[in-house]
Amino acid sequence: MTSATIAPPGATSAPGGATPPPPPRRRRRWSRSAIFGLVFVLPAALYVLIFQLVPVVYGLILSFTTYSPLSRSGPEFTGVDNYTDLLGDADFGNALLVTGRYVLQVLPITVVLALGLALLVNRPFKGVGLFRSALYVPHIVSLTAVSMVWLWMYSQTGLFNEILGFFGAPAQSWLLDSDSALNAVSAMRIWKALGSNMVLLLAGLQSIPKDLYEAARVDGAGRWATFRYVTLPGLRPMLVYVVAMDIIYLAQGFAEIYVLTQGGPLGSTTTVNYQIYTEAFQYNQMGSASAMAFVLFALIIGFSVLAVRGVMGRQK
Amino acid sequence: MDVHSLPPRGRRPFTRRAGSLLALSAAAALALTGCASGGGAADDGGDKTLSVWLPGTNQAEIDLVTDTIVPAFEKETGATVEVTYVDWGDISTKLNSAFAAGTAPDIFGHGPAATADFVVNDRILDLDDRVAAMSAEDRDDLAAALPGGQVDGVQYLMPLSLQGYLVMYDADAFTAAGLDPDSPPTTWGELKTDADALTERDGSGTITRSGFLAPSQAIARQQSFATFLFGAGGSLVNDEGTKATFASSEGVEALDFFTSLYTGDDAVSANLGEDYLNAPAAQQPLVQGTAAMTIQAPSMMQQIVDAAPDRDLRVMPALSLEGGDPAAFGGAGPGLMINADSEAPDLAWSFIEYMLSPEVSTEYTQGTGTIPVRASAADSDYAKNSPIISTFLEQSGNLQTNPNVVGWVQVRDALDKQLERALNGVAGSQEALDAAAAEADKILAANG
């Protein structure tokens, strides 16, 4: 019986059993342009690291602790308690439902209306520039300022009740009734989001090759068929972007709630972000507020992925 | 030089100079992004510099403090005072961030309700010894205000003014409704009866003029409830601050009364939940004629009088619910606290003493339209010339405030939430108060 030594692949034996010296390692050199590239990128990279990634990681760590910023002792590790507490928190459950309802009742309307407006202003007519600008103006005004204006319009002596009064209808408590408050906030938000969505969808419409419309016309496609088989597929990438961004922004609704309703009446407009604010800055409970923030983050990611897949899947 | 050390053509090695450049860039980036060390009160010039944060953005107060009070103090002491005005809505957030970052000011203003949380976290100085060192005359003069700045009997906050909420009424509306404006109601029951007579409705029965309005929006509705509760002889928590006591028969009576204002066939108040309290003077219900009586604070009362100079608007003394003594929500108003980490605590105390000196204190409360913190201010021209302020000063003994206990903000919100349920008919008074008390007890126990 003979025995054999199996050498690892790549291993070679030198005569006399001596191992040859490893090849000299080449020092990695950086070109001048690479160094300068690094120098130019560094500030932005540090900015992202310090002001975006570090706070997110710190927030994640805080979510496993109990911590008040007033405390001198710093965060105390509590494991997953903050997350398990949320499971039985009826207020948090209500906030999730309100946030979901808010997204679901604003998103479809604002996207469909914005698409209709984009189709309208995608054709030349007198004053189209002014029309586009007028629709875009709400987007460039701060949400807080817009909310202040709408707060007055919704008040008992505001514009909407004046109009109702003009037609002999009784005044409504738009923001004071738990049945109507979220709808009133949603109406404001739809108005606010229309302009930016319209501009994005308009850009999407204008990127669809004209040849496709020509071909559809030659094939005898009607308006609906052209819209369904040319416009909509061509618009899909932009539509995905608009839907995803709207979900992200709406699910984080705060400023409008803070100004218009303060989460009331009866919690009917308390979104998750508003509850996070209360927990963190009214009660100084940074740990549980961070846990809420990460639950919201996970839900936003989940719904955004679903929405993107929903639109892109059909494209496949 | 062997072949391995030769740089490739057209390229240069990572030299020390380049490394220095990289390090310099990193330092510059850090500096630009505000992460370099430095700043804070300690670097601003030792104990001759004071940083002060005052809550509120009232322009009259800003002008008075910035242009008159601070320059006079600086001249007297040789110190430099840097005052920052922070919107009320942001003061807690900014203070929390500043404490966490170690950049909190030497002195800051806040409401008494926030004091206990600062105390339990060892963030503010115990002022007992300094108050004890004041003259007996000064302490007596400030006696109505000082307890509101105490936690467990220890002075931490020095109130700059008193606060309070009384009923303002339209005397002309009283006369038109056949009521005697010179004999306003003395109990909430009488007020409700008068409010019935003052309430106006349209053909559909909708109230077009409220006979009486009590604040019913978030937070303020807890204060309205407290007014009725105190007037019924009830209390919010026990003396030790460990148990809620508002779910009592007095609490139920108070909440029943509050609810009856807004609901039922004999309702006298419209627009449940609307914040009229903070509306501009010109939009106040008394000015617009959409209410005949409203609960209000003194500064807004004065603005209302200015906005409707032709109206005969008057202020009622505190009222009681049947069985109780006259009482109203109020007491110590916002005041000043000294940061426990201040490097100039003596100068900080000097500033507070200066703000509370008789002349400056009266000037300050006159400028802000608030109730003077010193009893002796009753003899000042400010009080003598203002029926509103003189009424509040007369009633200062009937003003009762929220307790200074740790976790009060959460207790208040738990109570507020249940009050809202009762006011909207979702829960009965006893049920709502029991639920609020159970939640409050848990919060107090967790913070006890």
Nearest to B50 by CA among B353, B355, B345: B345
Query: What is the spatial distance between Cα B251 and Cα B438, in angstroms, rounded to a whole number?
Result: 14
pLDDT at B406 over 80: yes
Nearest to B212 by CA among B275, B277, B270, B288: B270
Q: Which of the four pLDDT bands, split at 50, 70 and 90, describes residue A25? A: low
Closest Cα in chain A, distance from residue B191 (Å): 25
Q: What is the pLDDT of residue A313?
A: 64
Residue B11, in any domain of the structure:
no
Q: Which of the four pLDDT bands, split at 50, 70 and 90, describes residue B7? A: very low
User: Same domain, yes or no, for B228 and B302?
Assistant: yes
Residues of chain A with C-beta less than 8 angstroms from the C-beta of B14: 28-30, 35
Q: In the predicted model, what is the mean pLDDT of residues A297-309?
A: 90
pLDDT at A198 over 90: yes
pLDDT at B14 over 70: no
Q: What percent of chain B shows pLDDT beyond 90? A: 79
User: Same domain, yes or no, for B85 and B195?
Assistant: no
Residue B13, in any domain of the structure:
no
SS3 state at B269: coil
Query: What is the spatial distance between Cα B402 and Cα B397, in angstroms, rounded to a whole number?
Result: 15
User: Same domain, yes or no, for B193 and B152?
Assistant: no
Residues of chain B with C-beta less than 8 angstroms from the C-beta of A176: 271-274
Q: What percent of chain B shows pLDDT beyond 70? A: 90
Closest Cα in chain B, distance from residue A39 (Å): 6
Q: Which of the four pLDDT bands, split at 50, 70 and 90, describes residue B295? A: very high
ipTM of the complex: 0.79
User: Same domain, yes or no, for B226 and B270?
Assistant: yes
Q: Which of the four pLDDT bands, split at 50, 70 and 90, describes residue B448? A: confident
Residue B151, in any domain of the structure:
yes
Q: What is the pLDDT of residue A19?
A: 64
User: Same domain, yes or no, for B269 and B372?
Assistant: no
Q: What is the pLDDT of residue B2?
A: 38
Structural domains of chain A, with CATH: 81-315 (1.10.3720.10)
Tokens of B333: 């108003």
Q: What is the pLDDT of residue A311?
A: 73
Residues of chain B with C-beta less than 8 angstroms from the C-beta of A71: 121
Residue of A nearest to B421 (CA): A266
List, as one string, the DSSP characters of B342-400: -S-HHHHHHHHHHHHSHHHHHHHHHHHT-B-SSGGGGGSHHHHT-HHHHHHHHTGGGEE
- Per-residue pLDDT tens digits for A118-144: 999 998 888 888 888 888 888 889 999
Q: In the predicted model, what is the mean pLDDT of residues B127-154?
A: 94
Q: Which of the four pLDDT bands, split at 50, 70 and 90, describes residue A93? A: very high
Residue B294's φ and ψ, nearest 5 degrees, are: -140, 150
User: Same domain, yes or no, for B427 and B296?
Assistant: yes
Q: What is the pLDDT of residue B9?
A: 42
Query: What is the spatial distance between Cα B173 and Cα B168, in angstroms, rounded to a whole number?
Result: 12
Q: What is the pLDDT of residue B306?
A: 94
User: Same domain, yes or no, for B374 and B416?
Assistant: no
Query: What is the spatial distance between Cα B68 and Cα B80, in angstroms, rounded to a whole number?
Result: 14
Closest Cα in chain B, distance from residue A228 (Å): 48
Residue B305, in any domain of the structure:
yes
Q: In the predicted model, what is the mean pLDDT of residues B143-170?
A: 94
Burial class (CB in 10 A: 0-12, 13-18, 19+), B310: exposed
Nearest to B29 among A35, A42, A265 (CB): A42
Interface of A with B in 139-198 (CB under 8 A): 155-157, 170-171, 173, 176, 178
Closest Cα in chain B, distance from residue A180 (Å): 13
Q: How many domains does chain B have?
A: 2
Residue B156, in any domain of the structure:
yes
pLDDT at A172 over 70: yes
Query: Quick check: B409 and A155 CB within 8 A?
Result: no
- With contact defined as beta carbons under 8 Å apart, do A279 and A292 qualify? yes
User: Same domain, yes or no, for B205 and B275?
Assistant: yes
Tokens of A120: 């309208």
Q: What is the pLDDT of residue B204?
A: 83
Q: Which domain, by its residues, includes B373?
A: 44-161+333-400
Query: What is the spatial distance between Cα A289 and Cα A284, in angstroms, rounded to a whole number?
Result: 9
Q: In the predicted model, what is the mean pLDDT of residues B151-168?
A: 95
In total, the C-beta contacts within 8 angstroms joining chain A to chain B are 108
The mean-pLDDT minimum among A102-106, A197-201, B8-12, B325-329 falls in B8-12
- Length of chain B, in residues: 448
Residue B190, in any domain of the structure:
yes
User: Same domain, yes or no, for B178 and B147?
Assistant: no
**Amino acid, res. A198:** M
Query: What is the spatial distance between Cα B173 and Cα B313, in angstroms, rounded to a whole number?
Result: 10
Q: In the predicted model, what is the mean pLDDT of residues B244-265?
A: 96
Query: What is the spatial distance between Cα B179 and Cα B156, in angstroms, rounded to a whole number?
Result: 46
Residue B251, in any domain of the structure:
yes
Give the CATH number of the domain where residue B73 resides.
3.40.190.10
Query: Quick check: B117 and A284 CB within 8 A?
Result: yes
Q: What is the pLDDT of residue B121?
A: 92
Residues of chain A with C-beta less than 8 angstroms from the C-beta of B409: 282-283
User: Same domain, yes or no, for B252 and B213?
Assistant: yes
Tokens of B66: 């910035």
Examine residue A265 and say whether the peptide bond preceding it is cis (omega within 30 degrees of 0): yes
Nearest to A43 among B25, B288, B421 (CB): B25
Rg from Cα positions in chain B: 27
Closest Cα in chain B, distance from residue A8 (Å): 30
pLDDT at B145 over 80: yes
Residues of chain A with C-beta less than 8 angstroms from the C-beta of B417: 267
Closest Cα in chain A, distance from residue B307 (Å): 18
User: Same domain, yes or no, for B156 and B173?
Assistant: no
Query: Quick check: A264 and B273 CB within 8 A?
Result: yes
Query: Quick check: B274 and A156 CB within 8 A?
Result: yes
pLDDT at A315 over 60: no
Nearest to B96 among A51, A266, A284 (CB): A284
Residue B20, in any domain of the structure:
no
Tokens 């009482």 correspond to what residue? B327
